[in-house]
Amino acid sequence: MNRVANKVALITGAASGVGRADALLLAAEGARVVLTDIDEDAGRALAREIGDAALFVRHDIADEDGWRHALAATLDRFGRLDVLVNNAAICPVGSIEETSLDTWRRVMRTNADGYFLGCKYAIGAMKGNDTPGSIVMMSSVAALGGLPMMCAYTGSKGAVTALARSVAVHCKRSGYRIRCNSIHPDGIWTPMTQALMPDLDPAALGIGSDPMARMCDPQDVANLVLFLASDESRFVNGAELRIDNAQLVSSL
């Protein structure tokens, strides 16, 4: 129950879905957690649920001043940062022909710019630590395959995946004890998924062909985030880890 004891983790998009599952599991395993989100009510409620080991910060990840504030609040409250979970994202539906330039830029601002800023400021906070650090980048199977009806989202997650590799190599060559890995789920049953596909019945997926017969659960993702946040993954760096029940390879 202490796989990340004494570590301080900042999780973006922590108020619901995967971010919430990440925060609860990391806290249960001994971490102090900084929960950032634009949903203040849900974020503060989660911080109260976790208790003294949690701090909520309202935070738009695409805003550079917001990152400065979030990191300052983290260091003021807990004195250090050990783990960044770049999780928050937006996911509008639209093919390449249907997606406007404004929508494309809005998605890139959050999903790509926001992750870039997170890495930049987290490295600054962690590079002087005497213990290892970890950056976990929430990407998607879409970045490795392609979702034609989510053009902007797919493009943004491709950027996240490439950025994770760049960050991993930069930190290694700079002598920083900071790892960076991307994780690639497929079809997570979250409030965002439910809003995008309100008529989807997750219990009916895969019946007759898939023994799991379900979508990916936020807890499935949180389990991998915990591993990457912990020192158990100390030699895992620059990796692209799928959580998709063989979905990508079965479509080849």
**To the nearest 10°, the Cα dihedral for 71, 72, 73, 75?**
80
For 80, counting Cβ atoms within 10 Å of its Cβ (0-12 exposed, 13-18 middle, 19+ buried), the class is: middle
DSSP, res 216: B
**Alpha carbon distances (Å) from 232 to 3, 55, 100, 181:** 8, 25, 43, 14
Does 153 participate in catalysis according to the annotation? yes
* Active-site residue, selected from the candidate residues 115, 121, 153, 176: 153
- Pairwise CA distance, residues 115 & 61, whole Å: 7
- Closest by CA to 125, choosing from 228, 242, 20, 7, is 7
DSSP E strands, 196-247? 240-243
DSSP E strands, 7-154? 8-12, 32-37, 54-58, 83-86, 133-138
Say which residues have a Cβ less than 8 Å from residue 65's Cβ, sequence separation at least 6. Answer: none
- Pairwise CA distance, residues 218 & 99, whole Å: 28
- Pairwise CA distance, residues 144 & 4, whole Å: 29
Residues identified as active-site: 153
